[in-house]
A and B are shown apart, each in its own frame.
Chain A
Amino acid sequence: GIQVEQSPPDLILQEGANSTLRCNFSDSVNNLQWFHQNPWGQLINLFYIPSGTKQNGRLSATTVATERYSLLYISSSQTTDSGVYFCGGAGSYQLTFGKGTKLSVIP
């Protein structure tokens, strides 16, 4: 099956800083998604992005399917951005997840 690797595993930011999270996958995917798990454990879908670029407020994501990676950009980070960010990839519909990037935004 598809292997998904995320980097960095941990990230500490000062509030207001920008960051880039990366997701590499071992095989071609037709389904790539980014999620945020908040400190209370809730998993929120940020982007469904099998290819191209999408933006939602301070967050944007880009998937380059031919090169098997996706990037999540967080601009002007806020303390509420803290948590764990997961990407998941699949050839069809059932996602395989990376181990996540733990983001801590400090005031």
Chain B
Amino acid sequence: DAGITQSPRHKVTETGTPVTLRCHQTENHRYMYWYRQDPGHGLRLIHYSYGVKDTDKGEVSDGYSVSRSKTEDFLLTLESATSSQTSVYFCAISEGWQGATPNYGYTFGSGTRLTVV
């Protein structure tokens, strides 16, 4: 298995509370991503990272922040959770380069199901 784990797997939280989701990898891959999946919308990019402390916004970044203080961990924080952030959140990793060959193939984590009540 590609070593990527997400925690927690399930979470129920109240509106207005902060929530942090964790993505941990053991592959030493450079790139990490957070997506959310909602019915009718497919997978939408929230934030991504291209190295330690290097992050950027994706398509649906409002209300979310991220941090990557070391290669293996990429944290997603909902600053003040709202019901519209009820979703399944997926983390993904990709290597970038395999020697002299580009390899941006994604490996996804198992997802976190977040419910905001």
CB distance from A33 to the nearest CB of B (A): 6
Tally B residues with Cβ within 8 Å of A. Answer: 26
| CB <8 Å contact, A45 and B96 | no
Q: In A9-34, which residues have CB < 8 Å from any B CB?
A: 30-31, 33
Choose the segment among B61-69, B75-83, B105-113 that binds chain A (4+ C-beta atoms closer than 8 Å).
B105-113
How many residues of chain A have a CB within 8 Å of chain B?
A: 23
Task: Please state if A41 and B111 are interface contacts (CB–CB under 8 Å).
Answer: yes
A-B residue pair count with CB separations less than 8 angstroms: 55
Q: A45-B106, A97-B35 are in contact. List 9 more A-B contacts (CB 8 A).
A: A41-B88, A41-B111, A45-B105, A88-B106, A90-B104, A93-B31, A97-B42, A97-B44, A99-B40
Show 25 A/B contacts (Cβ-Cβ < 8 Å), sorted by A: A1-B59, A30-B102, A31-B104, A35-B108, A41-B88, A41-B111, A42-B110, A42-B111, A43-B90, A43-B108, A43-B111, A45-B105, A48-B103, A48-B104, A86-B43, A90-B104, A94-B31, A94-B33, A94-B48, A95-B33, A95-B106, A97-B35, A97-B42, A97-B44, A100-B42
